[in-house]
């Protein structure tokens, strides 16, 4: 089997549909370790440069001003062997008035000792839109260490919608560190959903800096942990400008001997700003469980329904 | 269909249910009518097997089988279910998914649509709605009833199905209960409102953890209005008559 075929199979394991990687209508990029296996550019993307590095790849993506790219861009990053290192450096510029959605699947199906580092620098122009939705699959052995870091700047009236999802298989060790700075009337929405099992170790830090009037943000974190897994979710919002609005919303469900910590940190530097937070940690609500059990499902099935719903 | 014999429940040293005896017959709408604090919901939890509501004494028989020691799931699989007074909310779970949970064929869209229509919710709008905090209390309650309809249980315990739903909808709720019976479910209706009890075949009056008496709706509703609202005595009917 070629590396390309193996990667597309792994892509499916991560929840992606390999057909989209072959579609001429969609831009796509397939990377195994530090090798680029496939790449397609579509109209509306001004620059789509890739460079193979000794330990990974460097990607530069720039959109055309005012161009709305209708179909998502599909990205597939992975490491097929049991061991390895992958470093992904991305520089994304969403030009003024343009719009693009990136759907990334990161897959390490055989991970025993894998390290994946992603460092992203993103600039979203005036009234531009970036959707960045990332789904991970780290295999069943908990042997992955994944460190995504992102710094995002959102210009006047721009919008960022981003989500990180890792709910199938094991997590391993996860360190998310995202920071979004929003200027006047810009909007940032950062969502993370993770399900930790075994001895998985999850650390999520997401920060929104509301530096312009009427800037808005939502940091939403949903984590479920069971067995001996542990999680710490830090949601930070700074309301630095008049009429900026931010909210941090964190729910963590703990089962078995797992441990969870939530640290919402909200700060206002302008008396007209409003930043709020809500955080809840605990076992699954008894009434939720019993309501589902009263429809004939076992306790384990009921837990599964509640957890998967929350992480959806 | 359901027989309860000498059921006793004590919580934190307080007697909640005291020697409850009750019979629910197949095909009937049987109402447990009582003021707040009478122990009606505790009886419902006890019948369903809710955690923390295991009786210290007595027996619950359903379809001729002793179910006192069975779990909620086991009871539900036999065809017994409960619509809780306070409906739980589920983030990320659509009404379609929620309603299908108790169905034998989870892909039976027609049944799901029918259940929503019966509770006067438009399937086009509500199938995709999440059963979470975005629903109003009344909508959530209707979805709870719809999920019981979709399940099609042999015996449905409805704990205050009208709570949280506005007065104008009371007739709708009563019609829903009648429809459930028409579709083959026996109903054990729990309420503190005598208007709800009017559609019953039989009514059991409950007070202070006891079933005082069981009889025809009119007699029991009249008795309830006269002696239970307010209830200054906590006396048995025989004591009152003396």
ipTM: 0.91
Would you state the pLDDT for residue B170? Answer: 79
User: What counts of helices (H) and strands (E) characterise chain B?
Assistant: 10, 10
Percentage, residues of chain B above pLDDT 90: 61
Test mutation, B51, B62, B72, B85, chain A, max A CBs within 10 A: B72
> With contact defined as beta carbons under 8 Å apart, do B173 and B144 qualify?
no
Judged by CB atoms closer than 8 Å, whether chains meet at A297 and B91 is answered as: no
User: pLDDT digit string (tens) for B127-163?
Assistant: 999 998 888 888 888 899 999 999 999 999 999 988 7
CATH code, residues B2-241 = 3.40.50.300
Task: List, for residues B175-225, the tens digit of each pLDDT value.
Answer: 899 999 999 999 999 999 888 898 999 999 998 888 988 999 998 898 888
CB-CB neighbors (< 8 A) of B84 in chain A: 287, 290-291, 294
A311 found inside a domain? no
pLDDT digits (tens, 9 = 90+) for A99-146: 999 999 999 999 999 999 999 999 999 999 999 999 999 999 999 999
Tell me if A308 is assigned to some domain.
Answer: no
Domain with A44 in it: 3-286
Report residue B232's pLDDT band, with 50, 70 and 90 as the boundaries: low
User: Is A233:A190 a contact under the CB 8 Å cutoff?
Assistant: no
B48 and A294: CB-CB below 8 Å?
yes
pLDDT tens digits for A151-192?
999 999 999 999 999 999 999 999 999 999 999 999 999 999
Answer whether residue A186 is part of any domain.
yes
pLDDT score of B50 more than 90: yes
Q: How far is B89 from chain A (nearest CA, A)?
A: 7
Banded model confidence at residue A312, pLDDT cuts 50, 70, 90: confident
| pLDDT class of A87 with cuts at 50, 70, 90 | very high
Q: Is the pLDDT of residue B168 over 60?
A: no
pLDDT per position as a tens digit, A45-57: 999 999 999 999 9
Q: Could you tell me the two tokens for B53?
A: 């509501």
Distances in whole angstroms, Cα of residue A145 to Cα of each of A86, A111, A162, A236: 10, 9, 21, 24
The residue with greater pLDDT, B176 or B238, is B176
- Half-sphere exposure (CA, 13 Å, Cβ side) for A175? 8
The set of residues, in sequence order, having a beta carbon less than 8 Å from that of A30 and lying 6+ positions away, is: A4, A7, A8, A11, A21, A36, A37, A38, A39, A76
Q: Which of A286, A287, A310 sits opposite B92 (nearest CB)?
A: A310
Nearest residue to A61 (alpha-carbon basis) of A85, A87, A82, A88: A88
Average of pLDDT values for A47-75? Answer: 96
- Residue B155 Cα, gap to closest chain A Cα (Å): 12
Q: How far is A288 from chain B (nearest CA, A)?
A: 5
Interchain proximity A299–B50, CB inside 8 Å: no
User: What is the pLDDT, as a whole number, of residue A83?
Assistant: 95
Q: How is chain B split into domains, by residue range?
A: 2-241
Output the CA torsion sign for A285, A289, A294, A299: negative
A20-24, A237-241, B167-171, B197-201: range with highest mean pLDDT: A237-241
Cβ distance of B91 and A286 shorter than 8 Å? no
3-state SS assignment for residue B45: helix
Q: Which residue of A has its CA nearest to B101?
A: A295
Q: State how far the alpha carbon of A33 is from the alpha carbons of A30, A76, A85, A144, in Å.
A: 10, 11, 7, 14
* Number of Cβ atoms within 10 Å of the Cβ of B172: 16
Q: State the pTM of this model.
A: 0.81
Looking at the 3D structure of chain A, how many domains does it have? Answer: 1
The Cβ-side half-sphere exposure at A256, using a 13 Å CA radius, reads: 14
Q: Is the pLDDT of residue A21 over 60?
A: yes
Which residue does chain B place closest to A288, by CA atoms?
B88
Nearest chain B residue to A304, by CA: B93
* Distance between A296 CA and the closest CA of chain B, angstroms: 5
| Secondary structure (3-state) at B84 | coil
pLDDT band at B235 (very low <50, low <70, confident <90, very high): low
Q: What's the longest Cα–Cα distance across chain B?
A: 60
């Amino acid at each position: 089997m070629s590396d390309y075929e193996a990667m597309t199979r792994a892509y499916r394991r991560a929840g992606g549909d390999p057909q989209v990687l072959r579609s001429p209508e969609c831009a796509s990029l397939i990377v195994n370790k530090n090798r680029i296996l496939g790449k397609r550019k579509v109209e509306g993307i001004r620059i789509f440069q890739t460079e193979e590095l000794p330990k990974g790849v460097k990607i530069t993506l720039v959109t055309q001003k005012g161009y709305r790219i209708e179909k998502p861009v599909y990205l597939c990053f992975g490491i097929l062997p049991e061991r390895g290192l992958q470093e992904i450096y991305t520089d994304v510029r969403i030009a003024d008035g343009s719009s693009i959605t990136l759907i990334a699947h990161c897959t390490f199906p055989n991970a025993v000792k894998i390290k994946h580092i992603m460092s992203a620098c993103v600039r979203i122009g005036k009234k531009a839109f970036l959707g960045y939705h990332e789904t991970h699959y780290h295999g069943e052995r908990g042997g992955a260490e994944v460190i995504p870091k992102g710094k995002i700047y959102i210009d006047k009236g721009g919008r960022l919608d981003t989500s990180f999802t890792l709910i199938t298989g094991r997590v391993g060790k996860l360190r998310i560190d995202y920071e979004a700075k929003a200027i006047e009337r810009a909007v940032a929405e950062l969502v993370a959903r993770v399900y930790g099992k075994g001895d998985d170790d999850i650390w999520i830090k997401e920060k929104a800096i509301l530096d312009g009037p009427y800037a808005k943000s939502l940091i939403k974190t949903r984590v479920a942990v069971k067995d001996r897994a542990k999680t710490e979710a830090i949601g930070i919002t700074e309301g630095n400008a008049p009429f900026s609005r931010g909210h941090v919303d964190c729910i963590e469900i703990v089962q078995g001997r797992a441990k969870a910590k939530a640290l919402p940190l909200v700060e206002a530097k302008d008396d007209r700003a409003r930043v709020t937070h809500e955080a809840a940690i605990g076992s699954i609500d008894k009434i939720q469980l019993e309501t589902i059990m009263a429809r004939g499902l076992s306790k384990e099935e009921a837990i599964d329904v509640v957890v998967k719903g929350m992480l959806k | 269909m359901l027989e309860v014999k000498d059921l006793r429940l004590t919580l934190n040293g307080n007697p909640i249910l005291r020697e409850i005896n009750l019979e629910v017959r197949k095909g009937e709408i049987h109402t447990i009518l009582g003021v707040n604090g009478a122990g009606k919901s505790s009886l419902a939890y006890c019948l369903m097997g809710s955690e923390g509501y295991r009786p210290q004494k007595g027996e619950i028989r359903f379809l001729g089988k002793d179910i006192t020691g069975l779990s909620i799931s086991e009871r539900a699989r036999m065809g017994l279910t409960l619509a809780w007074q306070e409906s739980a909310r589920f983030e990320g779970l659509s009404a379609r998914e929620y309603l299908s949970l108790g169905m034998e064929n989870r892909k039976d869209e027609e049944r799901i649509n029918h259940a929503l229509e019966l509770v006067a919710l438009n399937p086009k709008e509500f199938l995709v709605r999440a059963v979470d905090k975005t629903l109003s209390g009344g909508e959530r309650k209707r979805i709870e009833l719809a999920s019981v309809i979709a399940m099609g249980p042999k015996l449905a315990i409805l704990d205050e199905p009208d709570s949280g739903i506005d007065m104008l909808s009371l007739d709708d709720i009563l019609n829903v209960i009648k429809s459930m019976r028409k579709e083959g479910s026996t109903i054990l209706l729990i309420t503190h409102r005598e208007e709800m009890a009017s559609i019953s075949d039989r009514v059991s009056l409950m007070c202070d953890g006891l079933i005082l008496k069981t009889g025809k709706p009119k007699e029991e509703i009249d008795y309830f209005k006269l002696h239970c609202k307010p209830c200054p005595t906590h006396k048995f009917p025989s004591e009152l008559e003396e």
